[in-house]
Structure 1
Amino acid sequence: MLEITPKPKKMLSVLQEKLDYVSAYRENRLKCAQDILENPSLFEELVSICFSPENKNNHKACWILEFVSYEELIWLQPHVDFFCSNLKVLKDESSLRPIAKVVQLLVKSHFKKDENSISLSEENLQDCIEASFDWLINDVKVATKAYSIRTLYVLGNYYNWIHPELQVILNKDYGDHSAAYKAVAREVLKKIE
């Protein structure tokens, strides 16, 4: 008689198991981020999952990366090439907002130039500029656009072509957006003009 052996179940990583239980509740996301902060060995896998859109926990990993980045942005330094070059693979709204915030944190850190600042290459910066403009002009939610506007404002202090481009887009799109978008646009336009 032929014996059929069941395929072994693929073992989930510790991080994947944690992400399975993450919900949108802030406390829940903070708890998982705290687990990562206490277990830095999980960080590389977290970054990898963020840029794996086929992974069902992709958006949850992005949520957690945002919270971890508030505490330990410097942990991204060895991963910035991977992070920046993969920004374009993200399409899901739930992933874009937290990643747009991390991009803003990275850019601000790069130009702050202190002992804890992140160092971005010219190529990393170009990837951040491209992603931020893409998010600004495409149909994404207002929070992602707001982070992109602020990121581009900072970058425009170092790349003289960005502020004029940003100004044109903000003035053109101003009437088509929500009060939240208009508030950020007004704030940045005032600084540019």
Structure 2
Amino acid sequence: MILAALYPELSSITASRADRLKYANLVLNDLTILPKLLDIVFMVNDKTSCRAAWVLEFVCEKNSYAIIPYLDDFTANLKKLHLDSSIRPMAKICFFIAQKHSNSKPDTLKSKHKELIIEACFDWMIGNQKIAAKAYAMDALYLLGKEFSWVHPQLVEILKQDFQSQSAGYKVRAKRILKKLKNTC
């Protein structure tokens, strides 16, 4: 499938789980579509990019290793995202990647990929993102912070600083992370 064929398909999908799963399965059955999907995800001023991000989230949820060959492009473009509907699924994908990284031997993530994910997640934590993006970002930071000693203290500082002004959902997730970090910082 070429980009010109994939774009109109994605522009017509809804946020329904069935639609997202249908297109995720299409990509999973033909991984040559994945770079084209990423191209659409990073058309950051286009509403279709959000739909592509929803599909990519489902792809990575089912097969988090599918994104590995494209980590250079994925991580380099995270900082370009600005639409909330794209950031939430991308933050979740960052969490999936961090989760797989923390459980995989040998390591599949290069240091530059980790650093770019950490940078994006911190940006989402201190930005005006919605709770879901912040929640996935804090989980990814917790996992990647096991390797980078400076990450956990910074995460604790942000969580404590923002705690009183955030939603109940944020507070629940922050308490869980802070409890895990209590003995490490």
TM-score relative to the length of structure 2: 0.92
- Amino acid in structure 2 at the alignment position of 1:25: S
Q: Distance in 1 between matches of 2:59 and 2:145?
A: 27
Q: Are positions 1:177 and 2:160 aligned together?
A: no
Sort the Cα spacing of 1:69 and 1:56 in 2 relative to 1 into closer, same or farther, 3 A: same
- Amino acid in structure 2 at the alignment position of 1:122: S
Q: Are positions 1:52 and 2:43 aligned together?
A: yes
Q: Distance in 1 between matches of 2:31 and 2:39?
A: 14
**Unpaired runs of 5+ in structure 2?**
none
Aligned length, in residue pairs: 181
Deviations 1:120-172 (A, max 9, x none): 11111110111010000010100000001111111111111111111111111
Q: Are positions 1:92 and 2:83 aligned together?
A: yes
Deviations 1:66-87 (A, max 9, x none): 0001122212111101100110
Quick check: which has more Rg, 1 or 2? 1
1:30 CA displacement: 1.2
3-state SS, counterpart of residue 13 of structure 1: helix
1:38 CA displacement: 2.1
Q: 1:22 aligns with which of 13, 16, 29?
A: 13
Percent identity for Structure 1 against Structure 2:
36
Q: Are positions 1:156 and 2:145 aligned together?
A: yes
2:56 aligns to what? 65
- Structure 1 or 2: larger helix share? 2
Maintained 8 Å contact 2:42/2:77:
yes
Q: Which runs of 4+ in 1 moved over 6 A?
A: none
Q: Distance in 2 between matches of 1:145 and 1:89?
A: 17
Q: Distance in 2 between matches of 1:138 and 1:54?
A: 18
Q: Are positions 1:42 and 2:46 aligned together?
A: no
Deviations 1:47-100 (A, max 9, x none): 111111134411100000000011222121111011001100000000000000
1:100-179 equivalence runs, <5 A? 100-114=91-105, 119-179=108-168
Q: Distance in 2 between matches of 1:110 and 1:88?
A: 21
Q: Distance in 1 between matches of 2:98 and 2:126?
A: 20
TM-score relative to the length of structure 1: 0.88
**Unpaired runs of 5+ in structure 1?**
1-10
